């Protein structure tokens, strides 16, 4: 059977336009898919609805959870009758909007005291406010400068519908002609999620543009010794469009974490393009275009394929992450590296034929024997001498870098974990600032819902437990400020007393309006206890959730009653645990995948060589995270498995070139020197351009993305050190026990 790379090289040489036509058709399909890409924010990016925890949270929000949109009114005096009439009219208009369950504000308090009519004078208004319960006034009218309207949505309203509602509210405000001096701001979690989605969309364009500009700069500076030095940038652009297209076709949404994948893909994709371009430029200097294409595709194609598969396996390890947007990040990166590899494999040789490629005069290939003293040549020779020295004395090098890695693994255990969504977004984002203003005024919007399931939740025994547990938590935990449950509702409609017979319970339930009851009771088999809390950091919230969970065990419910804790606070607390567990899990899976793949390809013990430097690099990453004071987030949690994918390419390419030189009859020290000298420059150039691509991440206004950019830039630098310095030492130790890889020897003989 003909080698597929030989077939591809022959096809490109003999049927160039047919290959170009197929490539253009795939590109057009990708452009169609590009129009189908969607944005995603909210709970779905953090939790999988198919899991028990995700299904319970989804059920709670669909059945009981009512998101609220806040309108913040600010003026010199919001108690002015004209302003209050405006608020009253606006609230009446908003009550007619679809999905709106209730609209309330200070005007409702004033109208209730005035017999359904809004007071017409400031004196009447001040008198009513002075007689109202202070805690109610504090929430609705914290000062004469600000007041709020609360728009409660129906349970189970989707995120897309919430965005439409916010758009309708903003339109209503824009045409309502507020009195002079009054500003109206839309706030609340739905508004925060909507603006965050818009910010994510804007970030994609900025980061991709910045990464591409940095790529142009890097390639111009580092790859100018070849003709058409910007060709790799064009290859990456095609690969990126293909990635977007397949995302749309496969229904993979763009989230806060997935945004970080695109500069990563640009950085990795430029590497593949540079490898093919550099090898072709090396071959074209001593052969015709068809022969150069054959040598490039047949010799380099399989090597880069192995590196690409190893990189993909590092990303595939992320599929096992419990956080959906991390799994999406891995999927996007996997699709992207495959797209960029195929684009480089096809476009570089096809472009060479269509342009009748000729190498630059005066420039020479990396590692060529011609005399000269250009910076590139001096760097080539320096790399070769370094590799030769390291290979002669491998043990001290291994021990030095191993000790640093061991320290890094130790420090990594002390790196904090963060899952607070509000710390990931820009601090000056208007929706965040207005949400913080609401929190300062009304307290935390967060709560801890406790679902109670039984054959009959209205039985006296179950109601007694709900009542006791609802009273126990606020009394024993200063972070819990109040409770709302079916028993508090029954007490409210029964003069503060809990009924003593089932008949009395049924009578009270019958008096409660259905619209009120449905927020607390789902048939006779399920109810919810809702504990309101103070505003707190997510690490404190996680401890609080665990405290409530332990209290449920301590205050055991009656036999046959099941109690489950859910809600956004519980979800983010679980995400923190998931990050802690999954970052190690994903890293171990990544190592296992790549080890298995390399052993399958090379079929000998020496196949583990490319993995050893990566073990060191992952340890160095832990040290950097600790020393820079960074947190593990859903994005930086992928650092280990991503490093495995990125670094494995460099170490595999060094090993492959060394094996190729050994198969030609060189002794080991000469082979490792030649391999590093010939491919080290290409690896360095591609690595530095990758650094430039990753650097675009640091420009993001999302802290979660910019911090990821910092550590990935450093990690790529570590990967270069691991490939150029540590890999020769590892190969030297391995060579004492193993020979060259069997497939490389057979390939050399076949050639």
Encode pLDDT of 652-686 as tens digits: 888 888 888 888 888 888 888 888 887 777 677 77
- The predicted-structure confidence for 400-457, as pLDDT tens digits, reads as follows 999 999 999 999 988 888 877 777 777 778 888 887 777 776 666 678 899 999 999 9
Q: In this predicted structure, what is the pLDDT of residue 750?
A: 40
Answer whether 232's CB lies under 8 Å from 273's CB. Answer: yes
In a domain, 197, yes or no: no
Looking at the structure, tell me whether residues 566 and 578 fall in a common domain. no
Kindly tell me if the per-residue pLDDT of 741 is higher than 50.
no
Kindly tell me if the per-residue pLDDT of 367 is higher than 60.
no
Give the 3-state secondary structure of 378-444. Answer: HHHHHHHHHHHHHHHCHHHHHHHHHHHHHHHHHHHCCCCECCCHHHCCCCCCHHHHHHHHHHHHHCC
Looking at the structure, tell me whether residues 363 and 480 fall in a common domain. no
Q: In this predicted structure, what is the pLDDT of residue 743?
A: 44
Looking at the structure, tell me whether residues 438 and 371 fall in a common domain. no
Kindly tell me if the per-residue pLDDT of 370 is higher than 60.
no
Domain final position from 172, 191, 210: 191
- When divided into structural domains, the chain yields a total of 3
Kindly tell me if the per-residue pLDDT of 136 is higher than 80.
no
In a domain, 55, yes or no: no
Give the 3-state secondary structure of 279-313. Answer: HHHHHHCCCCHHHHHHHHHHHHHHHHHHHHHHHHH
| Mean per-residue pLDDT, 490-505 | 89
In a domain, 52, yes or no: no
Residue 273: its H or E element: helix 261-284
Q: In this predicted structure, what is the pLDDT of residue 374?
A: 65
Q: Identify the CA nearest to 409 among candidates 578, 245, 588, 574.
A: 588
Looking at the structure, tell me whether residues 515 and 529 fall in a common domain. yes
In a domain, 53, yes or no: no
Looking at the structure, tell me whether residues 288 and 383 fall in a common domain. yes
In a domain, 246, yes or no: yes
Domain final position from 540, 573, 606: 573
Residue that wins the pLDDT comparison between 363 and 160: 160
Looking at the structure, tell me whether residues 541 and 587 fall in a common domain. no
Kindly tell me if the per-residue pLDDT of 749 is higher than 80.
no
The pLDDT-based confidence of 619 (bands split at 50, 70, 90) is very high
Domain final position from 544, 573, 602: 573
For 34-63, letters b (16+ CB in 10 Å) and e give: beebebbbbbbbbbeeeeebbebbbbbbeb
In a domain, 196, yes or no: no
Looking at the structure, tell me whether residues 629 and 727 fall in a common domain. yes
In a domain, 104, yes or no: yes
Looking at the structure, tell me whether residues 186 and 280 fall in a common domain. no
Residue 275: its H or E element: helix 261-284
DSSP string, 611-635: HHHHHHHHHHHHHHHHHTTPPB-TT
Looking at the structure, tell me whether residues 617 and 741 fall in a common domain. yes
- The predicted-structure confidence for 45-57, as pLDDT tens digits, reads as follows 778 888 888 888 8
In a domain, 217, yes or no: no
The Cα–Cα gap between 679 and 275 comes to 9
Q: Give the contacts of 21 (CB within 8 A, at least 6 positions apart).
A: none
Looking at the structure, tell me whether residues 35 and 82 fall in a common domain. no
Looking at the structure, tell me whether residues 451 and 405 fall in a common domain. no
Looking at the structure, tell me whether residues 239 and 116 fall in a common domain. no
CATH number, domain containing residue 523: 3.30.70
DSSP string, 44-85: GGTS-TTSHHHHHHHHHHHHT---EEEEEEE-S-TT-HHHHH
Kindly tell me if the per-residue pLDDT of 734 is higher than 70.
yes
- The predicted-structure confidence for 574-615, as pLDDT tens digits, reads as follows 888 888 878 888 888 988 888 888 888 877 777 788 889 999
Range of the domain at 362: 4-42+223-421+574-750
The Cα–Cα gap between 582 and 414 comes to 16
For 239-261, letters b (16+ CB in 10 Å) and e give: bbbbbbbbbbeeebbbbbbbbbb
Give the 3-state secondary structure of 666-717. Answer: CCHHHHHHHHHHHHHHHHHHHHHHHHHHHHHHHHCCCHHHHHHHHHHHHHHH
The Cα–Cα gap between 643 and 622 comes to 12
């Amino acid at each position: 059977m003909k080698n597929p790379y030989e077939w591809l090289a022959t096809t490109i040489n003999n049927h160039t336009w047919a290959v170009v036509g197929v490539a253009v058709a795939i590109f057009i399909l990708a452009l169609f898919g590009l129009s189908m890409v969607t944005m995603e924010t909210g709970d779905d990016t953090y939790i999988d609805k198919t899991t028990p925890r995700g299904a319970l949270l989804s059920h709670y929000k669909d059945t009981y959870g009512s998101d609220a949109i806040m309108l913040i009114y600010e003026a010199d005096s919001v108690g002015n009758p004209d302003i209050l009439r405006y608020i009253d009219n606006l609230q009446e208009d908003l009550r007619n909007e679809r999905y709106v369950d209730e609209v309330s504000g200070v005007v409702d308090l004033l109208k209730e005291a005035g017999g359904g009519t809004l007071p017409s004078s400031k004196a009447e208004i001040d008198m009513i406010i002075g007689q109202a319960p202070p805690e109610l006034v504090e929430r609705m009218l914290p000062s004469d400068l600000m007041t709020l309207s609360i728009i409660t949505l129906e349970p189970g309203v989707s995120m897309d519908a919430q965005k439409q509602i916010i758009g309708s509210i903003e339109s209503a405000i824009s045409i309502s002609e507020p009195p002079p001096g009054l500003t109206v701001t839309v706030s609340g979690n739905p508004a925060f999620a909507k603006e965050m989605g818009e910010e994510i969309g804007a970030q994609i364009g900025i980061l991709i543009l910045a990464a591409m500009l940095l790529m142009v700069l890097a390639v111009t500076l580092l790859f100018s010794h070849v003709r058409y030095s910007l060709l790799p940038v064009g290859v990456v652009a095609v690969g990126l469009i293909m990635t977007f297209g397949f995302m749309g076709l496969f229904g993979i949404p763009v989230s806060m974490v997935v945004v970080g994948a695109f500069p990563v893909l640009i950085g990795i994709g430029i590497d593949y393009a540079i490898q093919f371009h550099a090898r072709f430029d090396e071959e074209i200097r001593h052969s015709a275009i068809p022969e150069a294409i054959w040598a490039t595709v047949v010799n380099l194609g399989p090597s880069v394929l192995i590196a690409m598969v190893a990189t993909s396996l590092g990303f595939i390890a992320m599929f096992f992450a419990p956080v959906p947007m991390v799994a999406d990040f891995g999927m996007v990166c996997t699709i992207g590296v495959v797209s960029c590899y195929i684009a480089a494999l096809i476009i570089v040789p096809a472009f060479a034929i269509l342009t009748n490629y000729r190498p630059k005069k005066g420039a020479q290939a990396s590692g060529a024997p011609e005399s000269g003293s250009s910076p590139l040549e001096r760097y080539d020779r320096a790399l070769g001498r370094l590799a030769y020295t390291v290979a002669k004395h491998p043990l001290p090098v291994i021990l030095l870098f191993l000790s640093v890695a061991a320290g890094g693994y130790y420090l990594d255990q002390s790196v904090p974990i963060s899952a607070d969504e509000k710390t990931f977004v820009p601090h000056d984002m208007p929706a965040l600032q207005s949400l913080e203003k609401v929190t300062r005024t009304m307290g935390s919007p967060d709560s801890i819902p406790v679902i109670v399931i039984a054959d009959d939740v209205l039985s006296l025994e179950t109601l007694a437990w709900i009542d006791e547990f609802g009273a126990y938590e606020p009394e024993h935990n200063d972070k819990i400020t109040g409770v709302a449950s079916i028993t508090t509702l029954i007490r409210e409609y029964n003069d503060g007393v809990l009924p003593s017979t089932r008949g009395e319970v049924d009578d009270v339930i019958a008096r409660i309006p259905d619209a009120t009851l449905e927020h607390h009771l789902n048939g006779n088999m399920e109810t919810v206890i809702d504990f309101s809390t103070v505003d707190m950091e997510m690490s404190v919230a996680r401890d609080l959730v665990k405290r409530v969970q332990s209290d449920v065990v301590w205050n055991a419910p009656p036999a046959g009653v099941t109690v489950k804790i859910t809600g956004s606070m519980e979800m983010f607390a679980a995400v923190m645990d998931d990050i802690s567990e999954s970052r190690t899990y994903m890293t171990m899976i990544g190592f296992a995948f790549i080890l298995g793949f390399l052993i399958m390809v090379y079929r000998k013990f020496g196949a583990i060589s490319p993995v050893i430097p990566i073990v060191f690099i992952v340890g160095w990453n832990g040290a950097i995270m600790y020393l820079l004071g960074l947190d593990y987030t859903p994005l930086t949690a992928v650092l280990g498995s991503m490093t495995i994918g990125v670094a494995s390419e460099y170490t595999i390419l060094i090993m492959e070139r060394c094996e190729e030189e050994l198969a030609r009859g060189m002794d080991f020290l000469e082979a490792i020197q030649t391999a590093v000298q010939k491919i080290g420059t290409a690896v360095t150039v591609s690595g530095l351009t990758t650094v430039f691509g990753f650097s675009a991440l640091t420009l993001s206004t999302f802290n979660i993305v910019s911090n990821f950019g910092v550590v990935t830039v450093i990690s790529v630098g570590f990967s270069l050190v691991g490939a150029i310095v540590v890999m020769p030492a590892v190969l030297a130790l391995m060579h004492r026990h193993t020979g060259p890889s069997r497939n490389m020897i057979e390939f050399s003989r076949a050639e």
